[in-house]
Amino acid sequence: MDEILRTIVDKTPGAKAAILMGFDGIAVEQWVAPQYEQDTDIESMAMEFSFRFLELRDAASSLEMGQISDITLKAEYGTVIVRVLSQEYFVAVVLETAAHMGKGRWILRSQAAALTDDLYGN
């Protein structure tokens, strides 16, 4: 599982870290690129967002939009891309800039099935 997170970070230009977390804010596994280890606390960040993501998910569901599969947030000093894996888990990647957001989303999507398999032991 950490190998998959590492692959996601390595293949996405500008990616600082990736984390697999429950919507309850408890991290399962994370990978931080060595050059960002000093200044990247992806666990605190994902924890802070996890409850908000849950609320977005509930809002979408109440609006009959179905399940949310992807969330992206672009801020001044960082971009977060999220892929929802199941009712319980999501994977988030933090990028330095938004320049490679599209590629990041694609890589995240391409690795999502492998992460889900690892999570649920298929």
Q: Nearer to a copy of itself by C-beta: 101 or 119?
A: 101
Give the single-character DSSP code of 36: G
What is the contact surface with a copy of itself in residues (CB under 8 A)? Answer: 44-45, 48-49, 52, 55-56, 59-60, 62-78, 98, 102
CB of 121 to a copy of itself, least distance (A): 26
- Spatial separation of the C-alpha atoms in residues 29 and 38, rounded to whole Å: 18
CB of 57 to a copy of itself, least distance (A): 9
CB of 4 to a copy of itself, least distance (A): 21
Nearest to 18 by CA among 26, 79, 29: 29
Q: Nearer to a copy of itself by C-beta: 1 or 73?
A: 73
Q: How far is CA 35 from CA 24, 31, 65, in A?
A: 29, 12, 39
Give the single-character DSSP code of 34: G
Q: Nearer to a copy of itself by C-beta: 66 or 121?
A: 66
Give the single-character DSSP code of 98: S
Q: Nearer to a copy of itself by C-beta: 1 or 60?
A: 60
CB of 86 to a copy of itself, least distance (A): 14
- Spatial separation of the C-alpha atoms in residues 97 and 88, rounded to whole Å: 28
